[in-house]
Structure 1
Amino acid sequence: MINFEFLEANKENLRVQYLTAQPFPYLIIDNFCDEEKLLRAYDSIPELENKSRDYAFANNKFEKSNYKVLSPELEELYYDLSSDRFNAILSFITAKKTFVDPKNHGGGLHQGKKNSFLDMHLDFNYHPLQKNWYRELNLLLYLNKDWKPEYKGGLKIKDLRTDEEAELEVPFNRLIIQQCAPYTLHGYDMTNFPEGRYRTSIYNRKIEMCHFVN
């Protein structure tokens, strides 16, 4: 599903782009997946009913952690994102040795319905269940078919240290890799998608194993 050959052939440039991005390290990768497979994955997604875990600062936002059960394409994507091959690429690009939380705590398939928004916020860094796991990266794969800027819902990021900010567009088949740190705010403004269309993304969290010294 993932276009591994492209990533491996361009990992040096991708590393430079990630490490030098402002306001803090992030990376945009377009055509991240095989387009035909991702379209089939998109077509298999139903309207979700479970409220997202970030409901305290979000509106009309829903999620499904175990999205791989919805279709063979989504299962393939899940295992590609969890694979050693992808981890090796990601570790090179970000200069961090990471792995996927196998239970995808707080991650998965996210769907913003009518008037959805996500207030600017900081994510947790230390895992709530595994106290020696430290989250380093957020990975967001967008499934917004035929997205237009007037639909809104672009990913807003802000560095608390400098107050510098940016807004990133969220078209179909775009992966955004974002550093997750105590100063990396992110969110999105209220959406304006056409009736029956939702702001859709697959959200993975990359974790670093930490060792505490008493």
Structure 2
Amino acid sequence: MINFDFLEKNLETLRIQYLSAQPFPHLLIDNFCDEEKLLKAYSNVPELNNKSRDYAFANNKFEKSNYKEICPEFLELYNDLSSERFNKILAFITAKKTFVDPKNFGGGLHQGKKNSFLDMHLDFNYHPLNKNWYRELNLLLYLNKDWKPEYKGQLKIKDLRTNDEAALDVPFNRMIIQQCAPYTLHGYDMTNFPEGRYRTSIATYAYQVHEMLIETPRTTDWFPKEDASFWKKQFAKNYNLLVKTKNRFFGSATAKNQ
């Protein structure tokens, strides 16, 4: 499914593009997958009904973690993304010993319906189950057929250290590899897709093993817009504590959107 030959022939170029990108390391790869296979996978995407757990900060966003069961093409994609061949490519591009979570905890098929948005945020840093796995990368493969800028939904990224930001287009068959760090904010503004069309992506995450924890483990940190309500801002400020308390008593729901 993945165009491995292209990636392996352009490793040096991709590495330079990733490491030199602003406001922080990221990489855009068009034609990431075999077009015919990805179109077939796209034709099998159902309308999802599992609402995102981040409902307070994500409007009309739906998820399915176990997307590989939808069709053979998605199973092939899942296997390619978690393969040793792809891990070697990622490690070279990022100049770090990164690897894709083979169980894709927290990832999957994401679908933003009418007026969908996702507030700017920092992702959890250490894997909830493998406590010394540090989240290094978001890998986002977009399935927005015939996407146009006026549909909106561009991936917004912002560096908390400098406040520099960028908006990245999200057309069909584009992979965006984005660094995860304590300063790498990302999200997207309210979409304007035509009726019956959705902002669709496959989310996968890559990690590095840490012998010593370099940060305090956290869940998602949210950064609502300035014009957000007082209650939303207070919820964002206390989100980490509330989630940790909930998980202690009831466990994590992150892996339940099958």
Kindly indicate whether the alpha-carbon contact (under 8 Å) linking 2:18 and 2:93 is maintained by their aligned counterparts in 1: yes
Measure how far apart 1:180 and its partner are.
Answer: 0.2
* Counterpart residue type for residue 132 of structure 2: N
Measure how far apart 1:190 and its partner are.
Answer: 0.2
Which one has the largest radius of gyration?
Answer: 2
Aligned residue for 1:56, secondary structure, equals: coil
Q: Deviations over 1:155-200 (max 9, x none)?
A: 0000000000000000000000000000000000000001110000
Matched, 1:95 2:73: no
Q: Which position in structure 1 is the counterpart of 2:195?
A: 195
Q: Which position in structure 1 is the counterpart of 2:34?
A: 34
Kindly indicate whether the alpha-carbon contact (under 8 Å) linking 2:91 and 2:99 is maintained by their aligned counterparts in 1: no
Aligned residue for 2:205, secondary structure, equals: strand
Shift >6 Å, 4+ stretches: none
Measure how far apart 1:96 and its partner are.
Answer: 1.3
Measure how far apart 1:51 and its partner are.
Answer: 1.3
Structure 1: gaps (5+ residues): none
Over the matched positions of the two proteins, sequence identity in percent amounts to: 81
Kindly indicate whether the alpha-carbon contact (under 8 Å) linking 1:53 and 1:106 is maintained by their aligned counterparts in 2: no
Aligned residue for 1:175, secondary structure, equals: strand
Q: Which position in structure 1 is the counterpart of 2:50?
A: 50
**Structure 1 residues 140-149 or 102-111, which shifts more?**
102-111
Matches within 5 A, 1:4-19: 4-19=4-19
Q: Which position in structure 1 is the counterpart of 2:61?
A: 61
TM-score of the pair, normalised by structure 1: 0.97
Q: Which position in structure 2 is the counterpart of 1:142?
A: 142
* Counterpart residue type for residue 130 of structure 1: N
Structure 2: gaps (5+ residues): 214-258
Q: Which position in structure 1 is the counterpart of 2:183?
A: 183
Q: Which position in structure 1 is the counterpart of 2:3?
A: 3
Aligned pairs, number: 213
Kindly indicate whether the alpha-carbon contact (under 8 Å) linking 1:140 and 1:203 is maintained by their aligned counterparts in 2: yes
* Counterpart residue type for residue 80 of structure 1: D
TM-score of the pair, normalised by structure 2: 0.81
